[in-house]
C-alpha cells in the first residue's frame, strides 16, 4: 500500500509541475506573440464563431501553420486570412481564381449557406489549418490572456504545488514522530 501511495504522490507532484510549466508557457507565449500562443512555429487560433461547425466548434483551438507560398493553395484547403477590417477568419476554399499574376480565393464557412462576399487575395492568407483541433480550450486561452487570467494561471499551480508540499512534509514529520516498537530478536540455539 505504501508503494502505491508513493507512486501516486510522485505522479501528482509531476502533474503539478507540468501544469505550472504549461501555464507559464501559455501565458508567456501569448504575451510575447501579442495574441495567440505558438508551438513549434505553428500558431494556435481560437475559434470565435460557429461558421465552420461541425468542423470546428466555437471555443476550440485550431493549429495553423504559416503558408510559404499562398498562391499554391487549392480548393478544399482550410485557410486563415486577414479581412479588410483587420479581423482573422478561418474558412474553406471553394474556388481558386487566377487573374494574371494574382491568385484569389473564394471562401465559405462550412456552416454558412452562402460563400463569403469578398474574394481573398493570396497575400492576405496568414496560415493553413493543420488538422489539429482542441475542443473548448479556446475559452481557457482567452481567459489566460486577460489580466486576471494571467495572474490566476501563474499563481494557482504554484499555490497547489506549495500546498501539496506542505501536506507531504506534514505527513513525513508525523511518520517520524510515531513511536516505534522495538523488534523482538529471537535467539536460536
Q: Which residues are catalytic?
A: 49
Tracing cell 508551438 back to the chain, one arrives at 39
Chain-centroid distance, C-alpha 7: 28
3-state class of 26 per DSSP? helix
SS3 134: strand
Helix (H) or strand (E) holding 38: strand 38-39
Sheet harboring 38-39: ordered strands across?
Answer: 38-39, 42-46, 61-66, 125-134, 78-82, 88-99, 102-108, 120-121
Q: Which residues contact 103 (CB under 8 A, 6 or more apart)?
A: 70, 71, 73, 96, 97, 121, 122
All cell numbers assigned to 149: 487570467
Amino acid at each position: 500500500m505504501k508503494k502505491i501511495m508513493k507512486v501516486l504522490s510522485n505522479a501528482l507532484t509531476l502533474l503539478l509541475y507540468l501544469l505550472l510549466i504549461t501555464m507559464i508557457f501559455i501565458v508567456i507565449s501569448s504575451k510575447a506573440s501579442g495574441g495567440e500562443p505558438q508551438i513549434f512555429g505553428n500558431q494556435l487560433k481560437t475559434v470565435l464563431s460557429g461558421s465552420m461547425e461541425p468542423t470546428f466548434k466555437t471555443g476550440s483551438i485550431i493549429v495553423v501553420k504559416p503558408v510559404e507560398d499562398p498562391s499554391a493553395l487549392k480548393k478544399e484547403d482550410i485557410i486563415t486570412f486577414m479581412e479588410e477590417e483587420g479581423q482573422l477568419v478561418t474558412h474553406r476554399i471553394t474556388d481558386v481564381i487566377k487573374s494574371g499574376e494574382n491568385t484569389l480565393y473564394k471562401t465559405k464557412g462550412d456552416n454558412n449557406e452562402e460563400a463569403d462576399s469578398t474574394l481573398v487575395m493570396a497575400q492576405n492568407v496568414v496560415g493553413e489549418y493543420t488538422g489539429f483541433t482542441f475542443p473548448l480550450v479556446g475559452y481557457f486561452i482567452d481567459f489566460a490572456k486577460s489580466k486576471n487570467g494571467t495572474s490566476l494561471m501563474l499563481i494557482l499551480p504554484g499555490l497547489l504545488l506549495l500546498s501539496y508540499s506542505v501536506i507531504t512534509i506534514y505527513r513525513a514529520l508525523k511518520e517520524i514522530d510515531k513511536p516505534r516498537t522495538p523488534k523482538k530478536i529471537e535467539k536460536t540455539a
